[in-house]
Amino acid sequence: MVEPGRLAGKVAVVTGGASGIGRAICETFGTEGATVHVLDIDGNAAEGVVDTMRRSAAPAGGGLSATAHGCDVSDPDDVERTFRTILDHEPVDILVNNAGIAHIGTVETTTPEEIDRLYRVNVRGVYLCTRAVMGGMRERGSGVVLNMASVAASGGVAERFAYSMTKGAVLAMTYQVARDYAKHGVRCVSISPARIHTPFVDGYLAEHYPGREAEMFDTLSATQPIGRMGTPSEVAYLALYLCSDEAGFATGTDYPLDGGFLRLNG
């Protein structure tokens, strides 16, 4: 069992926080005492997450502290507006760059427009949000940036050319930010999940394999040597550790959470 309050007094921003891994991170951080800002392009969905969190019991009693923000992380003006709203009230101690989109295709079947679309969200979005908080973290001499990368960045996944490329860029940004800001007391790390069972997976299977969802779910699960997909909560608990003071020696490192995908396949 994890003792509550590991993020007590911390302010965390989580992008893509309205569903899947992002939602699990928001709820876990809130339960552990953080004030959580839930950012998502779907502002109504972000409000729904916040409503649920506020009805939950916090470690010291009462509802969790959370605020929803509709934000398109690929839009510089939207990011500036959102983070200014947050920073005008309180400093940000933790940024989780979780927002991202996927794509299926090889280098031949991926169009320039699709490359640009994934770059805007998966790469520029991480850059814009990190840039928005870094000045304050540097001045205070503390802070954590956690990026959500992917096993696709290190090992490659069939027909995920654009996605793998953008997640490789996320890894490079993780290493570079960690190097540039370690001397200022700011840590930067990343998590590389394999397949995680989220609503996105269910929607993908329903769209591409109607009537064969269960069969294809088992096939995708089997690509992890452990024999199943991960859960959003498993990612959230690793995120909790990496963003807590307990991980104060961790920076400039990627943490695969992949059921053996990278090291045990083949």
Active-site residue list: 163
- Give the dihedral sign, CA 70/75/79/81: negative
Say if CB 236 and CB 31 are below 8 A apart.
no
Query: What are the tokens at 145?
Result: 């940036």
Sort strands 143-148 and 186-193 into parallel, antiparallel or unpaired.
parallel
Query: What are the tokens at 136?
Result: 């304050």
Say if CB 256 and CB 151 are below 8 A apart.
yes
Give, as one character, the DSSP assignment of residue 198.
Answer: -
- Give the dihedral sign, CA 103/106/112/118: positive
**Which residue stretches of the chain are H helix?**
20-31, 43-54, 76-87, 112-118, 125-140, 151-154, 161-181, 199-208, 213-222, 232-243, 261-264
